[in-house]
Structure 1
């Protein structure tokens, strides 16, 4: 089975970026990403069929960010988890009315994503612990089966993370440029809490806009370049609509300062980039 982050190196788990420009991308990367761009259009959540309140979804995804971070899971696992969650919410024939029900779907999605991405998958009893034992193992397994049935067992999908790996390599000037790297991931993760971004824009566009918004906040000029256009496949004009929504979400999250995604990226390990964004935006 082809794994969509396949042999591309992980950036957000402390692996070093390759400094030699000529070695940033392998010979087959262009063909690989052409394939990703084709596939992303076919497997995506649909906001038209969404059967959950957007605020409940926002809270649950934010909680999943905290849970994923505390469990020290791979970033690929979280991005796939949200993809699974949104695709299920656009396919199920019943309305999810409570946060408890959506948390169950979210945790079951995290369980599936970990089985796909982690070398050592999260177990059912571990998931039960994450949820403070409010769900029985049987409930979690039953929801896991329902998710797989609804998705037709399709878990091989290109998430924004696949494109972020390539984009960060292109926009980070050195191995020490951790502020830019973390700012890109801050924008990417906060965007996942907004269902209109996730469902209305392609993963590759979300990844490109994360770089664009990060460069704007960190004040890296130019905000967009021909190299980034070549790398992402998007011109600056293509980014503006999604970037506008992403910046609005950032302003709201930084203004409140209480969401888990803000707290996560306010740590010294993440270079306090959410606080940098908060100060830049003066909210």
Structure 2
């Protein structure tokens, strides 16, 4: 029996074997669900911020008490830094210029720079630091500060820090110094910085980006000078904020408020150091995203100089003795003076006349300082020394570490 082929297809005519799918409908629905999730997340974030604000207002007094207690415990000792045998205060601006450039290159938070300088000063308060290790200690402090409070994707690596130091130090030296800084400070890294107190003061009024940038600029200028190393961050933040508002002609805070309780003496000292800031710092704050506050300060100082010249016109004809304009003294306010190391013969902190020095053992090669001071107790750890001292004698120093080279009388 022959098979009979039907003349008409059973299910109708079809030009293709593929059927149109509903992927477009599913994509629209998935996009709608994702949009709903995004809106829900924003709503939850708004609720969380509101709850955080209410909680912060409730515990604000306890938070402030804790921060002020912590800042008192984590302050460096200026007298111990004064009696360092090799590093001196005139070397500090060179190292800070390097740290400011590294901080800007890695786009770290403002509080990271203040914390790094605090760690550096606290370490120098407890250990003898050689000139050849000064930059290494600064890099270790910056690395610790970035790991402590900054974003993980912006924390510098040892390879990057080594490149910035022109391969002056080995990888193991960075790791060894980082561990030694933490051990010296008893792993107490938390320090309320100037930026932290500044944010609390700015939260009391409407946000003004220019005032914040100006206050940060003034606070970073203060890092370069010895007289502000012993100033508490809370007082320094309020004083820098008061000076920033004065420069920008903003309304000052009420003296009864926390932000208005600034130190007039520190404000005057800060204003005296505005005339000749670091070029690296001035270029940093000349950018638009930082409100070009360094240019604003220059214009303010020019106006003040013009006002002073007009007010200096004598009411009576000057005598022969007063025709010559008086010259500023060495400690005058016209510009920052190079800090000099002083000598203290009195009993210092912990009863030590000099900070602890490098011990004599096979781990640390440089022991000349230890031989010169055998009376120093061994209860204080010391600055580590690289394992390859012979390789350090012919190393070319990087541009920012010129201060590390020996000084000749």
TM range (shorter): 0.7 to 0.9
How far apart are the structure 2 equivalents of 1:112 and 1:248? 32
Q: Which residue number in structure 1 is paired with residue 122 of structure 2?
A: 87
1:101 equivalent to 2:133? Answer yes
| Paired position in structure 2 for 1:147 | 181
Paired with 2:129 and 2:167, the residues of 1 have a C-alpha distance of 24
Determine the C-alpha separation between the residues in 1 that align with 2:169 and 2:149.
24
> Equivalent residue for 2:103?
68
Distance 1:197 1:142, change over 3 A: same
Query: Residue 122 of structure 1: CA displacement?
Result: 2.5
**Could you say which residue in structure 2 is the equivalent of 1:183?**
214
d(CA) in 1 for partners of 2:129, 2:58: 47
Deviations 1:165-202 (A, max 9, x none): 1112235x34xx3211211111111111223202x211
Q: After TM superposition, give the deviation of residue 61 of structure 1 in Å.
A: 1.3
Assess if the C-alpha contact under 8 Å between 1:262 and 1:274 holds in 2. Answer: yes
Deviation at 1:123, TM superposition (A): 2.1
| Bigger radius of gyration among the two | 2
24, 29, 33: which one pairs with 2:60?
A: 29
Q: Which residue of 1 aligns with 2:148?
A: 116
- Answer yes or no: is 1:251 the counterpart of 2:275: yes
The count of aligned residue pairs is: 246
Aligned 8 A contact 2:106 2:156 in 1: no
Runs of 4 or more above 4 Å deviation: 22-25
Q: Which residue is 2:192 aligned to?
A: 158
Partner of 2:77: 46
CA–CA separation in structure 1 for the residues paired with 2:253 and 2:55:
19
CA distance in 2, matches of 1:261, 1:24: 37
Report the Cα offset of residue 218 of structure 1.
0.8
Displacement after TM superposition at 1:25 (Å): 5.6
Question: Where does structure 2 lack aligned partners over 5 or more consecutive residues?
Answer: 1-48, 306-409
Check 1:73–1:85 CA distance in 2 against 1; reply closer, same or farther (3 A cut).
same
CA contact (8 A) 1:24 1:169 kept: no
Contact 2:111/2:194 (<8 A) preserved? no
Could you say if the C-alpha distance between residues 266 and 119 of structure 1 is closer, same or farther in structure 2, counting changes exceeding 3 Å?
closer
For 2:270 and 2:78, how far apart are their aligned partners in 1? 17
Other-structure match for 1:266: 286
1:10 equivalent in structure 2: none
Note if 1:278 corresponds to 2:302.
no
Q: Is the 8 A contact 1:60 1:103 kept in 2?
A: yes
